[in-house]
Amino acid sequence: MKNEGFPLLDQVLVPIHPEGWRFVAIFAVVTAILFALWTPLGWIGVVLTLWCAYFFRNPERVTPTRPGLIISPADGIVQTIGPVAPPPELEMGKEPLTRVSVFMNVFNVHINRVPITGRILRRIYSPGKFFNASLDKASIYNERMAFRLEMEDGRELAFVQIAGLVARRIRCDVEDGQRVSTGERFGLIRFGSRVDVYLPEGVVPLVAVGQTMIAGESVIADSFHQSSMPGEST
């Protein structure tokens, strides 16, 4: 229920993802110990416990309903846009597709959402290293969960959860063969990370590097809006 008299409360008092409760509990126990050792340390623990709860916030989002729109799967900043071959484990070929990378810092919502309605053809988990998720090599070497999705018109799109420097734990809540809808929650990444979207061939991105994205709401591209030549983008 929304706080009709206090709309700002809806931005603060949001649900916490179930994955977060055990971390909040750990932070709270450590905080109690710190208070027992030295009160100033305890207050630092309180701040960190509140930040932990804030990190795992799970707000509602209003997803555009027009067919064909590809929506940002993550909160954060568009870091790079350019032609890159999709992850080899997805077996989508070696031809470059336009990749839009959204980088999440530790203050962003880390719940990830499906970019467009379709069916999950394949999801592949790859363990990896601890490179900063803002680095381009993170898409190759870091822990990741890659998804190959068949859109309703038969074209395919890929999106990849990439773990970051602080921790490397990815949660995924969808299975191979599952039908998913635009804006639907499908998982999260803990403590700083990135999500890449590989657009179908010829689809033009409608975002710019440095633009702020809201998962489940911001439009990355219109799958019905294609360039005149394969691989061409604006």
pLDDT at 64 over 80: yes
Query: Nearest Cα to 115, choosing from 185, 173, 29, 10?
Result: 185
Measured CA to CA in angstroms, residue 131 lies from 14, 74, 146, 166, 174 at distances of 31, 19, 17, 9, 26
CATH number of the domain to which 99 belongs: 2.70.70.10
Q: Which domain holds residue 16?
A: 9-55
The answer on 127 and 222 residing in a single domain is yes
pLDDT tens digits, 42-61: 999 999 989 888 878 999 99
Same domain, 97 and 213: yes
pLDDT for res 107: 86
Tell me, yes or no, whether 94 and 197 share the same domain.
yes
Asked if residue 3 is part of any domain, the answer here is no
| Same domain, residue pair 42 and 74 | no
Answer whether residue 34 is part of any domain. Answer: yes
Q: Is residue 152 part of a domain?
A: yes
Residues 166/136, Cβ–Cβ less than 8 Å: no
In a domain, 234, yes or no: no
Question: Do 50 and 156 belong to one domain?
Answer: no
Q: Is residue 231 part of a domain?
A: no
Residue 35 shares a structural domain with residue 91: no
Tokens of 87: 């992850």
Q: Are residues 41 and 78 in the same domain?
A: no
Tokens of 20: 């977060």
Question: Do 99 and 215 belong to one domain?
Answer: yes
Does one domain contain both 129 and 22? no
Same domain, 30 and 77: no
pLDDT 10s digits, 83-139: 999 999 999 999 999 999 999 988 899 899 999 999 999 999 998 776 666 666 666
Q: Are 42 and 34 in contact (CB under 8 A)?
A: yes
The reply to whether 51 and 79 lie within a common domain is no
Counting the structural domains of the chain, the total is 2
For residue 167, tell me if it sits in a domain.
Answer: yes
CA distances for 62 relative to 39, 79, 113, 167, angstroms = 43, 23, 12, 29
Catalytic residues: 193
- Separation CA 78–CA 210 (nearest Å): 5
Rounded CA separation 59/197 (Å): 22
**With pLDDT > 70 as the criterion, what percentage of the chain qualifies?**
84
Same domain, 43 and 154: no
Inside any domain, residue 232: no
